[in-house]
Amino acid sequence: MNSITIIATTWFPKGPIGESRKEYAKEAILSWEEWLYYDGIINLHIADDGSFSDYLEDLVEFLSKWWTRGAVSRSRQERHGVGASLNAGIKVADKLFAYFVDDWKLTGEMDLTPWATLLLREERVGMVRLGPPHPYIAGKVEMFNEGWALVLERHHFAFGHRPALYHKRMIEAYGYFEEDVNALECERSYNLRFCSYEVPGYEAGPKIIYALPSPFEHIAEDVHVSEVDPSEAHRLSIDVQSS
C-alpha cells in the first residue's frame, strides 16, 4: 500500500489558549496512534503556522517518542493561515494524505485500508470524508468493493475540513487551498470551488464520498439462500445433507 501522510495543522499562541491547544493536540494525535489501522505506513506531518516556539518544540519532542506508525516531519510558516499550512503538508505527501484536525480525537477503531484502496483504484473519487458530516449534505448511497458510501451532491458543505482521506487528484483538479484567510473562509472557498468547478476529462471533477462504515459484516458469502423459494426449502435441505 502507498503510504499515507496525516497533516495536522497547528497554531499555539503564547499563553493559556496556546498551552491548552498544545495539550489537546497531544491527546488527539495519541488517539490516532492508538485507534487507526492501515496496511501500510502512516507518516505524520505537523504543519505549523507560527506557534510559540517552546510549545511547538514540546509537541514535536513528544511525538518523536510516541508516534510509531511512520516518520514525523514538520513545516513552519509565520501566520499565513490554515490553507498555507495544508498546502505545505500536501507538498511533502505521496499520493495519499489525510487532514485530521489537531483538536479532533478518535474514539474507536478506524481502518483506513479499504478507503485508501478505493482512492487508488477509483479515479472518479478524490476524497473520502471520515468525520462527522455537515448539516444538509445529501447524495446517493453506492456500494463499492471496499464498502458503502454516500456519493455527495455538490451543494451545502459537501467539502469540509472535518477528518478526511484524500488522493492528490483532488488537488490536481481543484487546486491548492486559499492562503492568508481564516479557517472558515478557507473551507468555504474550497467548497465553492468543488461545487461549481468543471474539470476537463471528468464528469464534473473528482467526487467526494462520505464513508458509511457498519459494525456488521456479512459472513455467509459461500451460502446464498435469498432467492430460494419457500416451497423448495425442504429439497434444498436434502441436497445440502446429501452433498
Give the pLDDT score at 243: 46
Give the pLDDT score at 223: 67
Could you give the 3-state DSSP secondary structure of residue 146?
Answer: coil
Beta strand 4-10 pairing with 96-99: parallel
Could you give the 3-state DSSP secondary structure of residue 55?
Answer: helix
List, in order, residues 6 or more apart from 180 with CB less than 8 Å away: 80, 81, 83, 84
Could you give the 3-state DSSP secondary structure of residue 188?
Answer: helix
pTM of the model: 0.89
Give the pLDDT score at 230: 75
Whether 78 and 42 have beta carbons less than 8 Å apart is answered as no
Backbone torsions φ then ψ of 86, nearest 5 degrees: -60, -45
Task: Name the residue with cell 419457500.
Answer: 230
The Cα–Cα gap between 127 and 166 comes to 4
CATH topology for 4-242?
A: Spore Coat Polysaccharide Biosynthesis Protein SpsA; Chain A (3.90.550)
* Domain ranges, ordered by start, for the chain: 4-242
DSSP state string for 4-51: EEEEEEE---SSHHHHHHHHHHHHHHHHHHHHEE-SS-EEEEEEESS-
Whether 19 and 52 have beta carbons less than 8 Å apart is answered as no
The Cα–Cα gap between 69 and 56 comes to 20
Residues paired with residue 48 on neighbouring β-strands, in sequence order: 10, 76
Give the pLDDT score at 234: 60
Query: Grid coordinates standing for 214?
Result: 457498519
Amino acid, single-letter form, for residue 201: G
The Cα–Cα gap between 183 and 101 comes to 11
Whether 241 and 159 have beta carbons less than 8 Å apart is answered as no
The Cα–Cα gap between 89 and 75 comes to 7
pLDDT truncated to tens, each residue of the chain (243 aa)?
A: 899 999 999 999 999 999 999 999 999 999 999 999 999 999 999 999 999 999 999 999 999 999 999 999 999 999 999 999 999 999 999 999 999 989 999 999 999 999 999 999 999 999 999 999 999 999 999 999 999 999 999 999 999 999 999 999 999 999 999 999 999 999 999 999 999 876 655 567 899 999 998 777 777 767 666 777 777 656 555 554 444
Give the pLDDT score at 235: 59
